[in-house]
Structure 1
Amino acid sequence: MRKTNLLVILLVLFTASSSLAQRKGKNVTLEKSKQIAQSPKLVVGIVVDQMRYDYLTRFWNHYGEGGFKRLINDGFNCKDHHFNYAPTSTGPGHASVYTGTTPATHGIVGNNWYDKIQDKSVYCAGDDTYQSVGTSSDAGEMSPHRMLTTTITDQLRLHTQKRGKVIAVSLKDRGAVLPGGHAANAAYWFEGADEGKWISSTYYMKQLPKWVTDFNESGKIKAYKKAWTTLKDINLYLESGSDNNSYEGLFEDETTPTFPHSTPNLLSKEKDFEILKYTPYGNSITADFALEALEKENLGTDAITDFLAISFSSTDYIGHKFGVNSKEIQDTYLRLDVDLEQILNTLDQKVGEGQYTVFLTADHGAINVPAYLNDQKIPAGYVEMDANKEKFDQFLKYKYGTTDIVKGNSNHQYFLDRKVIDNLDMDLDHVQEEIAFELLGYEGIAKTYTGYQMWQNEYIKGIPSIIQNGWNQKRSGDVIYVYKPGFISYPKTGSTHGSPMIYDTHVPLLFFGNGIKKGSTTNRTEIPDIAPTIATLLGIAFPNGTTGKPIGEVLD
């Protein structure tokens, strides 16, 4: 009897433990399945045009708690983040952020480039097979057709059977078209001129939605046509240079590049809305419009992830005009910090705190004004292109009997005419090498490479690797030249970019929100890593040309 009772007890215990184990196993399975992917209601991708990494640290004490500081303190900061290719310019930058690869693969090799087949310069987003929407000008004749691969936004659309919305917004057409990808619901950009309105292309729609037309007619844009004064007391802007100096450009009718900026065109409510791009108000207009899109398009209101791509472009216009050490740049970033706080607060209210994911990066960095560096006894200078061209043409005539051997020049690359080379009975690689050696002797040029070298070698580090990642076999040139560090071909005022040097490659990368750890890393990360990181977070396919890798430290 005792044995029978003991067996019954043991059987009951075994059954109970087995059942418990099964339940635990089921819970473990469920727990693991939850960790496979996150499902934020909304992903917000923010690209700040021409933002150097040190703008975070340089202006840190002036930022409020709800903008850049919130993204860093409550998110993840990649401190050693770089472009791994050149040219470092807006079109390639936006394409690389969203495709997870470099110009060698996605094909956007510049803002503009010489097209070897059409024998003319082409624009990265230009497409005259589509018409403008919202304007009678040709400013809307745009599409992403020159981008050869998918984007993270395309992959989201495919993954959700197009139920997830993608909206892209930027002052610049290329800053909206390329992030939006091939399958965006809409991309909008700002037509300045004397119109001052948000427009689009028939690639996306036949007419503007009513909410866009209402925004354009609301007077919100005209309200920003006002004097540009500093957000804070200018005497507190100790992190930038003097307000009145020779390194900065002027607005029309100005005699000095000083605050306040209140020229007639800036104050006019009826014309020259282009000037707003050169003030921080251009960023505020972008933020206002992006938040209008958030509400009117019902982004982030259901369980299917949507994507809002925002590019802030005024930072680039202002950097080009005033330089990276100007009080104008400092004021622009302090005002952008306020815009970011407004965006985050609105996302908290409309989407829900913890229900959205944000990343913030840049499309390139920028060099300090070489004239200013010279005055600080730092090696820097300007490449005299006219003098170099005259010398180069003389070389071509002497060596080959004609300048026709060169068909075009773009993005620090020369394109050669194969037919002329064949008629001269010369080898292409030999001609490339001769021209590369010639250019190496010119003032301001530090390095040269040939297309043959790009074909034959696989570089894994240094400047050659950066050049190769930006060199596309079908679209790039035969001879590539690189300026010396600190040297540019540009006016004597304002900053620029485009080189493989670290001042153009080192930019911020911040992640924040749903699925993101709090912390930072000093390990090197690269621009093509952003898209696969977001794809891994969402559990969707990588863009089809991806060469970057997910940043595992970022993901929760």
Structure 2
Amino acid sequence: MLIGMSPAIAQRKKSKSKAPEKPKLVIGIVVDQMRYDYLYRYWDKYSANGFKRLVGEGFNFRNNHYNYVPTYTGPGHASIYTGTTPSMHGIIGNDWYNRATGHNIYCAEDKSVNTVGSSSQAGQMSPVNMIASTITDELKLATNQKSKVIGLSLKDRGSILPAGHAADAAYWFDGSNGSMISSTYYMQQLPAWVQAFNDRKLPNQYLSQPWTTLLPIAQYTQSTADDQAFEGTFVGEEKPVFPHNIPAFRGKTFDLLRSIPAGNTYTKEFAKEAIRAENLGKNTVTDFLAVSFSSPDYIGHQYGPNSIEVEDTYLRLDQDLADLLKFVDDQLGKENVLIFLTADHGAAHNPTYLKQLRIPAGNTNIGVMTDSLKKHLNQKFGTADWVSAFVNQQVYFNHAVVESKKANLVELQEETARFMQRFPGILRSFSADALMKSHWERGLGMLVENGYMPYRSGDVMVTFQPGWYENYGRGMPKGTTHGSPWAYDTHIPLLWYGWQIPAGESTVRTEIIDIAPSIAAWLRIQEPNGTMGRALLEYVR
């Protein structure tokens, strides 16, 4: 203390010079395909310690949306962690057409690396295709690489993209051997704790039991009756009804684990082991664990939002979340851990179900649309292989053919945009030229613009009417899909819980790109380099 300075002033100066308080661990939880309404639709059946605890003790942003299209898993996870849209981070779909190779490229594929933990090619993955930094990258930079960052999920993209470029590790499930694996991008061999976890052979245990309902089936009053024509079945199953005889349908691999609620339990158990074995949250700086629960997406695609299977999945996921929260309490204490829970996209009601209720809906055959477009362009511009692909509601032209024919690319785009709007279910089409020259502050144009990247996206972007599917086959589509700009795909939960988070809620409109800059503000570090979102701290106070 300086001579003449009072003890009170000295204490205030000491407090001001003290390092800012930060959480010991951040846990990001993404539930794949969790519509916003699932939080309340099954509320009465949730336990007190899972979703209800996150809502009751945490802060709930009830009006949280994606601000781009298409709403898929890869772009969703990338946008959550980069704080920006596909137009900036480059993950414009789960895959997209690569004009240089003439083939689709998967969002996490990387043939320069090899699998660790399996003899399959499932580990030839990395974040190399994501061109923006993540909040996890920025944490590594801010702490001079002292923070531990780990991503995990059944899906490779659900682990790799959140973990970012500088992560210590990312792990995902290989159905060929029933193990969590990684790639040489991160390591040369699995850590001993991962090998020990794999040696427990949990998938064998989970796949040896039939899938029955958690509660008596008569209590599933938030869902349609068990046997619906628009629900899918497991291979070898006659009807989509409980109990599902999983041991009889599993086959020679472990892939069926993805499509049952036990896939969430397996993910939760691996997350707990990662926290324990890696001593996450016991570092001198903040650590980060990115967890993605993938099974709700597989189950949702097969059965649809109104199914008993989806309801049962969320009731069981609620139990898994309760167990994870208790584990974190015991290991670190709620006050030391910042947790957020959100989703990578929502899901649509099945159009057949909507039609039964006289709600406008339908499905359009993509193959028929593509064939019709090719014939039309041949008549209009001369015979040539004008169209290379129709992927993610986007038409890709063969630019080499366009140049060799000396055709006007903008005219091709504009003609295609006009032609595509003739099909039932098409609401609006956007040419790449229009997206390059225009800017939308809100509405459908903004969503399409935010999902467009010039050298990866197509030449024409197509949007479907609300309630309509893009269907790649004939007949009635089963289950559900996603990818649209409509609320059932964009409106998803956003819950904050734990470290310095008060109980409360807000209906202010927030966007998925607000998560990363909010974490950056709480941690007092730089936001990801492509961030377009805003920090939400002022609403949480």
Which TM-score bucket, shorter chain as reference? over 0.9
Number of the residue aligned with 1:169:
152
Rate the CA distance shift 1:410–1:386 in 2: closer, same or farther, 3 A: closer
3-state secondary structure, aligned to 2:520? helix
Deviations 1:242-275 (A, max 9, x none): 111111001122211111101444567xx33111
Number of the residue aligned with 2:489:
504
The answer on 1:132 being equivalent to 2:115 is yes
Number of the residue aligned with 1:299:
280
Number of the residue aligned with 1:521:
506
- Cα offset, 1:427, TM superposition: 2.7
Q: Amino acid of the residue matched to residue 65 of structure 1? A: A
Q: Report the Cα distance in structure 1 between the residues aligned to 2:200 and 2:404, rounded to whole angstroms.
A: 63
The structure with the largest alpha-carbon Rg is: 1
Tell me if the contact between 1:100 and 1:545 (Cα under 8 Å) persists in the aligned partners: yes
Deviations 1:163-185 (A, max 9, x none): 11011110000000101100111
Number of the residue aligned with 2:236:
253
Deviations 1:134-162 (A, max 9, x none): 11110000000000011011111111111
The answer on 1:219 being equivalent to 2:201 is yes
The answer on 1:19 being equivalent to 2:6 is yes
Number of the residue aligned with 2:527:
542
Please show how residues 198-347 of structure 1 align to structure 2 within 5 Å: 198-225=180-207, 226-266=209-249, 271-347=252-328
Deviations 1:211-244 (A, max 9, x none): 1111111132211111101111111110111111
3-state secondary structure, aligned to 2:332? helix
Q: Report the Cα distance in structure 1 between the residues aligned to 2:104 and 2:468, rounded to whole angstroms.
A: 25
Q: Report the Cα distance in structure 2 between the residues aligned to 1:509 and 1:468, rounded to whole angstroms.
A: 24
| Aligned positions, number | 534
TM-score by length of 2: 0.96
Number of the residue aligned with 1:67:
50
Tell me if the contact between 1:38 and 1:537 (Cα under 8 Å) persists in the aligned partners: no
Question: Which of 102, 118, 142 is the equivalent residue of 1:119?
Answer: 102
| Aligned-CA RMSD value | 1.6
Tell me if the contact between 2:26 and 2:337 (Cα under 8 Å) persists in the aligned partners: yes
Rate the CA distance shift 1:403–1:53 in 2: closer, same or farther, 3 A: farther
Q: Structure 2: state its 5+ residue gaps.
A: none
Q: Amino acid of the residue matched to residue 39 of structure 1? A: K
Tell me if the contact between 1:265 and 1:275 (Cα under 8 Å) persists in the aligned partners: no
Q: Amino acid of the residue matched to residue 201 of structure 2? A: G
- Cα offset, 1:351, TM superposition: 1.3
Question: Which of 357, 364, 369 is the equivalent residue of 1:376?
Answer: 357
Q: Amino acid of the residue matched to residue 135 of structure 2? A: I
Tell me if the contact between 2:230 and 2:352 (Cα under 8 Å) persists in the aligned partners: yes
TM-score by length of 1: 0.93
3-state secondary structure, aligned to 1:108? coil
Q: Report the Cα distance in structure 2 between the residues aligned to 1:303 and 1:241, rounded to whole angstroms.
A: 51
Deviations 1:6-36 (A, max 9, x none): xxxxxxxxx98x7367346526735xx66xx
Q: Report the Cα distance in structure 1 between the residues aligned to 2:540 and 2:465, rounded to whole angstroms.
A: 39
Q: Amino acid of the residue matched to residue 263 of structure 2? A: G
Q: Structure 1: state its 5+ residue gaps.
A: 1-14
Taking every aligned residue pair, what percent have the same amino acid on both sides?
Answer: 47
Question: Which of 449, 456, 462 is the equivalent residue of 2:443?
Answer: 462
The answer on 1:76 being equivalent to 2:59 is yes
Q: Report the Cα distance in structure 1 between the residues aligned to 2:463 and 2:21, rounded to whole angstroms.
A: 43
3-state secondary structure, aligned to 1:46? strand
Q: Report the Cα distance in structure 2 between the residues aligned to 1:27 and 1:517, rounded to whole angstroms.
A: 27
Number of the residue aligned with 2:410:
429
Tell me if the contact between 1:432 and 1:478 (Cα under 8 Å) persists in the aligned partners: yes
The answer on 1:412 being equivalent to 2:399 is no
The answer on 1:57 being equivalent to 2:40 is yes
